[in-house]
């Protein structure tokens, strides 16, 4: 027996069924919405964007219309199946199951999100499981209620964290969101749902990009959206997702401390090791992630040990011979050109190939803004809301944008990226003005520095300070800048200490 009355009805349900298996930040998602809603679809831009009030309102209305259509259609088809007098066509049952998955996700999404944010035992799961069984979604074992509930929670966390951390509606912002989504679920979510969810921790993610472009936010979005099993018997997840992110800022630590932080140590293993210590690798469950920030700054001895753990998934505490298992995922980040570092003999190529199985490149702020005052307004508003309440942020935002466009212009390159814009917002809030990249009264953007040199405006000390600042903006850390300039790290720090704003890390 056929459950679809017309080819159009079948095509509609096929489109509904594909939505949950589509990257929501890829163009295909909007194409599916247009296919389903047709004349009811409201154009909301080429990129999903909930930070723009206008686009967000249209997107939410589209989702509301889509959910109404899906709900009506699923209930109608369910009634047809229940009253069928002969066997149902298997292909059509599969279409019904896939479209029912979307219906179930949207029906329980908000309540599930509330429970996730509050970290409470699930009260919605019994109702979810009862309707799941009523729709007979475990018929072919393609779907099981606890696993489906866990994947729904993961999708909800991923969607919300990617939007929380990645601002903007330009193509660059849309691509970054889509890339993060693929790092979490892969490009084939059907395969992810079947098997990949169990082994994504074995794939390392490398995040590269300019200093201040949000690499740690990308890492946190991925870590917060990892798969966490759901235990139906106790109606709770195996772990609170908020405790699954373990960031380590490698450039700020000497080698021995890095080893202790990562691998742990035995009491008495070295001077100062007064007790046994459990490192981050040992703390990790399969749903945990260790974030190795500034991995391009570490020495070869640490590189060798990281290579070993990525190859074998085993490690040893300092001072012990016993091997222990690492169960989590490694996410690494750097603003250095690792292929060039390999060519210079400063980074191991075998470690690089272990790191770059999955790579994300964070775009600079100038690409995210793309010369648009609207995009600048969205960024400033989000940053202002982190400091002020919403009402005051709405008052402050147009004032800040007016100052920036009048004094810096929309062509300002933001060499410090989002971190610099954040400091600009803070300066405008406190001082009412912002002086970018200033050392001893001299601007150090590349063009202005070249002009000052041509005009002979800099004395020897100011020239060294300005050029050091210029290289620091490219490298993003004292260590990398010192290596590039062949200077002592303390000398670099001394040249930079007089700057108004250092957009990097120690």
- Residue pair 202/328 in contact by the 8 Å Cβ criterion: no
- Distance separating alpha carbons of residues 218 and 262, to the nearest angstrom: 21
Cβ proximity of 24 and 48 under 8 Å: yes
**DSSP assignment letter at 250:** G
- Is residue 225 one of the residues assigned to a domain? yes
Assess whether 258 and 375 both reside in one domain: no
Helix %, strand %, coil % of the chain (to 5):
60, 10, 35
**Do the domain assignments include residue 143?**
yes
Q: Is residue 385 part of a domain?
A: yes
Confidence at residue 178, expressed as pLDDT on a 0 to 100 scale = 95
264 with 354, same domain: the answer is: yes
433 touches 404 (CB < 8 A): no
How many Cβ atoms sit within 10 Å of the Cβ of residue 357? 12
Domain shared by 41 and 139, yes or no: yes
In a domain, 237, yes or no: yes
What b-and-e string marks burial along 68-78, b requiring 16 or more CB atoms within 10 Å of the CB? eebeebbeebb
- The secondary structure of residue 196, as a DSSP letter, is G
Based on the domain organization, do 231 and 142 belong to the same domain? no
Q: How many CB atoms lie within 10 A of CB 97?
A: 18
| Co-location of 372 and 416 in the same domain | yes
> What is the block-wise mean pLDDT of the chain (506 residues), using blocks of 10 residues?
91 93 90 92 73 71 93 93 84 94 94 90 96 91 93 94 86 93 95 95 95 94 96 95 93 81 82 81 94 92 92 90 93 93 93 95 92 92 93 96 91 88 95 71 52 71 82 70 84 68 39
CATH number of the structural domain spanning residue 272: 3.40.50.300
Instruction: For residues 307 and 326, state if they share a domain.
Output: yes
Question: Residue 427: inside a domain, yes or no?
Answer: yes
Same domain, 19 and 149: yes
CB neighbours of 420 closer than 8 A, spacing ≥ 6?
212, 365, 414, 436, 501, 503
Q: 204 in a domain, yes or no?
A: no
Instruction: Answer for the pair 289, 226: CB distance below 8 angstroms, yes or no.
Output: yes
Residue numbers of the domain that contains 406: 366-496
Whether 325 and 419 share a structural domain: no
Q: Are residues 376 and 352 in the same domain?
A: no
Both 334 and 400 in one domain: the answer is: no
Domain boundary among 320, 346, 363: 363
- Residue 190 tokens, joined: 């059907």
In the chain, the number of structural domains is 3
> How many residues appear in the chain?
506
Indicate if 11 and 111 belong to the same structural domain.
yes
Of the residues 310, 334, 363, the one at which a domain ends: 363
Q: Are 97 and 137 in contact (CB under 8 A)?
A: yes
Per-residue pLDDT, 448: 61
Q: Which residues contact residue 91 at a Cβ distance below 8 angstroms, ignoring those fewer than 6 apart?
A: none
Supply the pLDDT for residue 75: 93
CB hemisphere CA count around 139 (13 angstroms): 12
| Distance in angstroms (rounded) separating the CA atoms of residues 15 and 255 | 53
**Are 150 and 228 in contact, with CB atoms under 8 Å apart?**
yes
Among residues 452, 453, 448, the alpha carbon closest in space to that of 435 is found at 448
Q: What is the mean pLDDT of the chain?
A: 88
Give start and end residues of each alpha helix (H) in 136-265.
145-165, 171-185, 189-194, 215-224, 255-263
pLDDT tens string 351-363: 999 999 999 999 9
Residue ending a domain, choose from 363, 388, 403 = 363
What's the N-to-C CA distance of the chain in angstroms?
69
- Structural domain contains residue 206: no
Q: Kindly state whether residue 125 falls inside one of the protein's structural domains.
A: yes
Closest CA relative to residue 380, chosen from 333, 335, 434: 434
**Are 234 and 326 in a shared domain?**
yes
């Amino acid at each position: 027996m056929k459950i679809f009355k017309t080819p159009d009805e079948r095509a509609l349900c096929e489109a509904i069924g594909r939505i949950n298996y589509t990257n929501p930040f890829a163009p295909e998602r909007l194409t599916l919405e247009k296919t389903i809603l047709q004349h009811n679809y409201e154009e909301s831009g080429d990129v999903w964007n909930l930070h723009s009030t206008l686009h967000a309102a249209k997107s939410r209305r589209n989702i509301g219309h889509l959910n109404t259509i899906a709900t009506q259609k699923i209930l109608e088809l369910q009634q047809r199946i229940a009253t069928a007098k002969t066997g149902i066509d298997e292909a059509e049952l599969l279409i019904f199951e896939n479209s029912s998955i979307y219906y179930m996700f949207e029906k329980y999404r908000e309540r599930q999100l509330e429970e996730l944010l509050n970290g409470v035992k699930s009260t919605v799961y019994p109702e979810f499981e009862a309707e799941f069984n009523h729709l007979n979604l475990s018929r072919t074992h393609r779907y099981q209620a606890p696993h489906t509930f866990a994947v729904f929670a993961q999708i909800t966390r991923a969607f919300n964290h990617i939007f929380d951390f990645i601002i903007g509606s330009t193509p660059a912002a849309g691509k970054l969101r889509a890339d993060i989504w693929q790092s979490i679920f892969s490009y084939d979510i059907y395969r992810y749902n079947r098997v990949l969810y169990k082994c994504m921790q074995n794939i390392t993610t490398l995040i590269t990009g300019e200093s201040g472009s949000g690499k740690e936010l990308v890492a946190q979005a991925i870590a917060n959206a990892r798969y966490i099993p759901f235990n139906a018997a106790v109606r709770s997840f195996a772990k609170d997702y908020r405790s699954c992110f373990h960031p380590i800022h490698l450039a700020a630590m000497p080698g021995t401390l890095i080893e202790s932080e990562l691998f742990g140590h035995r009491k008495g293993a070295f001077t100062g090791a007064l007790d046994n210590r459990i490192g981050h690798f040992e703390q990790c469950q399969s749903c945990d992630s260790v974030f190795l920030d500034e991995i391009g700054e570490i020495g070869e001895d640490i590189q060798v040990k990281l290579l070993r753990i990525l190859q074998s998934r085993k490690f040893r505490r300092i001072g012990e011979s016993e091997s222990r298992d690492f169960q989590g995922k490694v996410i690494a980040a750097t603003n250095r050109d690792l292929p060039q570092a390999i060519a210079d003999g400063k980074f191991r190529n075998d470690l690089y190939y272990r790191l770059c199985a999955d790579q994300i490149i964070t775009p600079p702020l100038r690409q995210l803004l793309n010369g648009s005052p609207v995009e600048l307004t969205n960024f400033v508003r989000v940053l202002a809301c982190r400091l002020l309440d919403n009402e005051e942020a709405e008052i402050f935002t147009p004032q800040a944008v007016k100052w920036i466009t009048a004094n810096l212009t929309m062509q300002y390159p933001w060499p410090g990226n989002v971190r610099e814009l954040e400091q600009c917002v803070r300066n405008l809030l406190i001082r009412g003005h912002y002086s970018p990249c200033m050392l001893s009264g001299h601007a150090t953007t590349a063009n202005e520095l070249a002009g000052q040199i041509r005009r002979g405006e800099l004395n020897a000390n100011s020239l060294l300070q300005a050029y050091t600042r210029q290289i620091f903006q490219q490298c993003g850390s004292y260590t990398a800048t010192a290596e590039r300039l062949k200077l002592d790290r303390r000398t670099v720090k001394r040249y930079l200490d007089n700057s108004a704003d250092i957009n990097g890390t120690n």
